[in-house]
Amino acid sequence: MICGKCSKNQATVHVTEVVNGTKKEAHLCEECARSAGIGMKFTFSISDILGNLMEVPKAGKGETGSLRCPECGITYSEFKAKTRLGCANDYEVFKAGLLPLLEKVHQSTQHVGKTPRTVESVVRKESELVRLKRELETVVKSENFEKAAQIRDRIKTLETELSE
C-alpha cells in the first residue's frame, strides 16, 4: 500500500481514528507519519497482554505469594511476570489462578479441539467417564437405582480399561 499523503513511499504506519461515530483511516509512510507527529514507536510483549488478563487466585492475597511449585520452584508471582510455567506440575499447583485465566482467554477450561490419534481413544474414555460420574449423581438423586447400577457398571468397566 502506498502512502496516502506523499503517494511515493510504502505505507508502514496505519492510523484509525473514530470521531463522532465516523471512522477515518490514514496509511502513511514513516516520513509523513513523523512530520504529522505520529512517528512514535510502541513496543509491547505478549507477557504484557497476558499479564493484564491474569487474576489472583481466590485463595487470598497472602497465600498467593507463597504458592511455589515443589518440582520446578517457580512461584505464582514469577509465572505472572514471565507468563510461562516452569513444568507440567504447575497446572495443578496454580490451578486456582490458571482456571479463571484460561476461561477468560479461551472461554472454556475444557479442551474441545483435535487430539492425536494415539491418545484419542483414551481421551474419549476419560471424557465419557467424567460424563457418566455426573450422570450417576443425577440419577441417584432422582432415586432411579436401576439406571444408577447400569451407570456404575459402565464406570467400573471404563476405569478398568483405562488402568490397563
Report DSSP letters for 44-111, one per residue: --HHHHHHHH----TT-HHHHHH-B-TTT--BHHHHHHH---SSTTHHHHTHHHHHHHHHHHHS-SS-
For 21, the 3-state DSSP assignment is coil
For 115, the 3-state DSSP assignment is coil
pLDDT of residue 51: 59
pLDDT of residue 141: 93
Residue 75 confidence (pLDDT) above 50? yes
Work out the pLDDT band at 58, boundaries 50, 70, 90: very low
b/e burial code for range 48-71 (CB count within 10 A of at least 16 → b): eebeeebebbeeeeeebeebbbee
Q: How far is CA 26 from CA 13, 17, 70, 109, in A?
A: 8, 8, 53, 40
Q: What is the pLDDT of residues 96-155, one digit of tens each?
A: 888 888 888 877 777 777 777 788 788 888 889 989 999 999 999 999 999 999 999 999
d(CA 39, CA 36) in angstroms, rounded, equals 8
pLDDT of residue 52: 56
Q: What is the pLDDT of residues 13-35, one digit of tens each?
A: 888 888 888 888 888 888 888 88
Of the candidates 5, 42, 48, 49, the one whose C-alpha atom is nearest the C-alpha of residue 27 is: 5
Residue 63 confidence (pLDDT) above 60? no
pLDDT of residue 137: 93
